[in-house]
Chain A
Amino acid sequence: MAARKASVVHKAPAQKASKTLAKDDDDAWDATDGLDDSFHLKSTSDHHHHHHHPHQLVLTEAELKEEITRVLNANNPHAPKNLVRYSFKERFYKPVTAVDHLAVHFALEGNLLDKDSDEARRLSIVQLPPGFVPGESKVEDHAETPKSTPMEDGGESEETGDEDKPRGGSSRRRKREPKITNQFNFSERAGQTRNNPSRERSCQTEPPPRITFSDSANQWEIYDAYMHKLQHHDTIEKKRRSTVVKKDEFEVKKKLLDSGNEEVAKVGEVAKIIERMVIQNTMDDIAQDFKYFEDASDEFRDQEGTLLPLWTFQYEKARHLAVTALCWNNKYQDLFAVGLGSYDFGKQEGGMLLFFSLKNSAFPEHIYSTGSGILCLDIHPQLSYLVAVGFYDGCVAVYNLKETTKDPVYKSNASTGKHSDPVWQVRWQNDDMDNNHMFCSVSSDGRVVTWTLVKNELMSSDIIRLSVKGDPSDGSDGSQLTVISRGTSLDFHKQIDYLFLVGTEEGKIYKCSKTYSSQFLETYDAHRMPVDTVKWNHFHPKLFISCSSDWNVKIWDHTVKTPMFTFDLGSPVGDVCWAPYSSTIFAAVTIDRKVHVFDLSINKFEGICHQIVVAKKIRLTHIEFNPIHPIIIVGDDRGTVTSLKLSPNLRKKPKSKKGQDLPKGSEAEILKMDRLLVLLREPELD
C-alpha cells in the first residue's frame, strides 16, 4: 500500500482552475501527483496569459493565493463511504460508520509449511527420499498391508522387510496412512488401468444320485417288522441245522440270479388283476348282462325260453382243434377247463388243455400243451387243482394246477397199462382206503380201468372188460366169441359209489358195478349208433340220460329196460347234460348248431328252447351247465367256447303252495320227477 502523505501544494494562480478539479478528488489519484507537477510546469509555460478555458473557474488574485491544506491518509479510496444498513430496531437506514479499508492488491498462495508443524512432519514422512530418516519418525517397509500401523511396529517390520526387499524407490511401498488431504484445494486425481476381461470357466459334474425315500412308521409296521425278523431268524436256524455250509452258498448264488427275473415276475399277480379289470371294462355290457339281465319277454313267451350269448372264449393256437371236453371247477365257479383235440381219425395234431375264467375271456388262465389230442377231462370235485385227462392215444394223465411245470404230474404209459384205444371218458372217484386219489377211464379197447395215484405213479387195475358173448353163429368154428365192446362213455352214480353206467359204440348201455368184474348188472339197448354220453340225474337216484349220433336223446329209469322219454332232435346229438338246479331240465347240443333245452315238468314232448348259437359250418360238440350261475358253455369244433345265459323260463323251480313249507331243493326235485314218472307209468301200465 502506498502511503499517503500530506502534501502542501503551492499553487500558481494560473493552475488554480485545474487544481480545483484536483481538490475535489484528491483522495483518488495518488499517482497523478507527479503528473500534476509536470502538468503544472507545462501549463505555466504554456499559459502565461490568462487563457480562460470555458469551464474554468474565474477566481480573483486573492483567492488564488489562498492556501489550501490537503491531507493524505491511509483510507481506502475505493471503500464505500455511504453504506447504510437497515436497522430493524429503529426502523430506518443507519449509516455504517466502520468500513473496512483493506484493499488487496495482490495475493499469491504459497506452499511453504512450517517445518515443525504436524502437517509438515507427516508430509515429510511420505515424501522424503530413501535413506533419509527425519527426526523421530520411522520408515515402514511393508509391501502388502495398506493400512496404518503404530510407530513401534514400524520399526520391527522395517528391519525384517529391509533384509528381504531390495531398496528401489519404485518397488518400495510404504505403509499407507490415511491420506492427508490439503484442506484448501484438494483435488483427487484418479486413474484407471485397463482391466483384463474376465472369462468364466466352469465345470459341471453329474450330481450324485439321489433317492427320495419315504415311509411311515406306526405300531403295525413295527410289529410286522419284528415278526418278519423272527420268522427269518427261525428259518435260518433251521437251515443251519439241516444243510451243509457249501450248499447254502450255492443257494445264495442261485437266489441272486433269480431275483433279477423275479422282480418283474412278481408283478404277475398284479398284472392279472389289471388285465381282468381292463377286460371287464371293454366287455362291461356283457358282464352286466351276465349278472343282471333277465329277459323280460319270457313272460310273454308262454313257456319257451331263450339263450343270451355272453362271452366267447378262444385261444389262437387252438383254432384248428375241436373242443372235446368241458368241465366246470367246483371250487371256483368261474373257472372251467376245456380239452381240445380232434375227432377226426385222420387228423391228429396234438391237443391242448386250457383253463378259462369268466373274468377274463380274452386269454386263458392256464395253458397246457399235449402231444396227443385230449378227448376227455375231469376235475376232482374236492381237490380242484387235480385234473384227469384222457388222450386219443390211450394214455391218461393227471395235471396239478398248482405246479408251475407244464407237464402232467402223472402219466400212464404202456408199462403201466395204458389203453390201446382212445380214452373216451374219465371220472374221479372218492379216495380209496389208503387215501389215494382214484379215477376211472373207459376206452374203445373195451376196458374200464381204475387208476390210483400212489406216490409218484399211476397204478391201474381193470374194473371190467366190456366183453359181450357173441352168437355162436359168428364164430367160424362155431365157438363162442367174445366181442369186445368199445366203450364211449362212462358215468358213476352220484350217491351209489360202485354203480356206474357205460355206453358203447354199439349203442348199448351197460349198468355195472365195481364189485362185479365179469358181469353187467343190466344191459340197455339204447341206440343204434355209438352212445356219446350217459349221465345220471343230479337229484333223482334212478334216472339217467343218454344221447347218440342217431339223433335221439333218451331218458331211462335204471330199473326199467325201456326208456322213459325219447326225443328226436333231428340231427346227431353231440352231448347232453342235466341242469344242476333242477331234476327235470336238461340241455343237448346237436351238430346243426343248435342248443336244445328241455324241461320235462313243463313240456314232456318238446323242448322249451331250440336255438342256433354259432355261425354256419361250425359244429357244436359239448355242453355243460355252470354249477351256480345260470349260464351254459358250449364248445364247438373250432376251438371256441361260447357262454350263454339261460332266460328265466328255462330256470323254473317247483312252485310252492302258499302255506306249505318248501321241502329242501333236492327233495323237491325228486318229488317233481316222481310225479312226472307216475304220470308216465300209469298210461304204460295201461
Chain B
Amino acid sequence: MAEVDEVVKRLQAQKGVEGVIIANSEGIAIRSTLEDHHTVQYVALIQPLLVKAKKMLQELDPTDDFTYLRIRTEKNEIIITADKEYFMVAIQKPAP
C-alpha cells in the first residue's frame, strides 16, 4: 500500500500532472489528489466509459485485454488504466 502511495506522490511531482485518482470498480475513489467534487465527477463519468471500452474490446477480440485509455483534449490529457478491480486516472497537461 505504501508503494502505491509513493507512486501517487511521484506522479504528482511530475511536470504537468494535475491530478491522480485511484478508484475501485464500484466507483468509489480511494486515493485522490484532487478536490472531492472534482474527484467524484471524474470517477462517475469515467466508470461507465471504462465499462463500455472493455466490453467493446472484448467483443472485437475475446483474447485481447484492455490496457489503457488515453483521452487527449485541447487542454489536458487524461490517462486511464484499469485492472479487474481498480482503475486509475491521471490528468496531465501535455508538454508544450
Chain A residues in the interface with B (C-beta under 8 A): 211-214, 216, 220, 261, 263-275, 277-279, 281-285, 362-363
Contact = CB atoms under 8 A, between A and B. Distances in A.
A264 B31 contact: yes
26 contacts: A212-B27, A220-B62, A261-B1, A263-B86, A264-B22, A264-B30, A265-B4, A267-B86, A267-B88, A268-B3, A268-B4, A268-B7, A270-B87, A270-B88, A271-B8, A274-B88, A275-B10, A277-B68, A278-B14, A281-B77, A281-B94, A281-B95, A282-B14, A282-B95, A284-B94, A285-B95
B70 interface: yes
Contact of A274 (B15, B26, B58, B81): B81
A211 to B, nearest CB: 7
Given A268-B3, A271-B8, A362 B83 contact: no
B64 interface: no
Contact of A363 (B10, B68, B86): B10
Contact of B95 (A216, A220, A267, A284): A284
Contact of A281 (B4, B16, B85): B16
A216 to B, nearest CB: 6
Contacts of B90: 274, 277-278
Closest A-B pairs by Cβ, 7 of them: A271-B7, A270-B81, A264-B1, A273-B81, A267-B86, A270-B88, A282-B15
Contact of B4 (A213, A271, A284, A285): A271
A282 B70 contact: no
Given A270-B86, A271-B22, A265 B92 contact: no
Contacts of B51: 214, 216
A287 to B, nearest CB: 11
B2 to A, nearest CB: 9
Given A278-B79, A284-B95, A363-B10, A273 B67 contact: yes
A89 to B, nearest CB: 91
A271 B88 contact: yes
Nearest to A265: B1
B38 interface: no
A278 B17 contact: yes
A363 B9 CA distance: 12
B7 A272 contact: yes
Contacts of B77: 281
Contacts of B40: none
B55 A270 contact: no
B46 interface: no
Interface in B3-52: 3-4, 7-8, 10-11, 14-17, 20, 22, 24, 26-27, 30-31, 51
B32 to A, nearest CB: 13
Nearest to B7: A271
A270 B92 contact: no
Contacts of A283: 95
Interface of B: 1, 3-4, 7-8, 10-11, 14-17, 20, 22, 24, 26-27, 30-31, 51, 55, 58, 62, 67-68, 70, 77, 79, 81-83, 85-88, 90, 92, 94-95
Nearest to B68: A273
B79 A269 contact: no
Nearest to B54: A216
Contacts of B24: 263
A292 to B, nearest CB: 17
B54 to A, nearest CB: 9
Contacts of A271: 4, 7-8, 11, 22, 81, 88
A279 B77 CA distance: 12
A283 B70 CA distance: 16
Contact of B68 (A261, A274, A281): A274
Contact of B3 (A265, A270, A284): A265
Contacts of A362: 10, 14
A367 to B, nearest CB: 11
Contacts of B79: 274, 277-278, 281
A363 B55 CA distance: 33
Given A220-B58, A281-B92, A267 B22 contact: yes
A282 B3 contact: no
A212 B26 CA distance: 8
Given A266-B83, A267-B88, A278-B92, 20 more contacts: A211-B26, A213-B26, A261-B1, A263-B85, A264-B22, A264-B31, A266-B85, A266-B86, A267-B4, A270-B81, A270-B88, A271-B8, A271-B11, A271-B22, A273-B67, A273-B68, A278-B11, A281-B77, A281-B92, A282-B95
Given A275-B10, A277-B90, A362-B14, A216 B3 contact: no
Nearest to A271: B7
A202 to B, nearest CB: 28
Contacts of B4: 264-265, 267-268, 271
Nearest to B10: A363
B49 to A, nearest CB: 13
A263 B58 CA distance: 25
Contacts of B86: 263, 266-267, 270
Nearest to A269: B83
B4 to A, nearest CB: 5
B81 to A, nearest CB: 5
B18 to A, nearest CB: 11
A468 B82 CA distance: 63
Contacts of B85: 263, 266
B82 A270 contact: yes
A668 B20 CA distance: 52
A279 B17 CA distance: 10
Which of A211, A214, A267, A285 gathers the greatest number of chain B CB atoms within 10 Å? Answer: A267
A271 to B, nearest CB: 4
Contacts of A268: 3-4, 7
Contacts of A264: 1, 4, 22, 30-31
A282 B1 contact: no
Nearest to A219: B62
A218 to B, nearest CB: 9
Nearest to A363: B10
A362 B11 CA distance: 10
Contacts of B31: 264
Contacts of A272: 7
B48 to A, nearest CB: 8
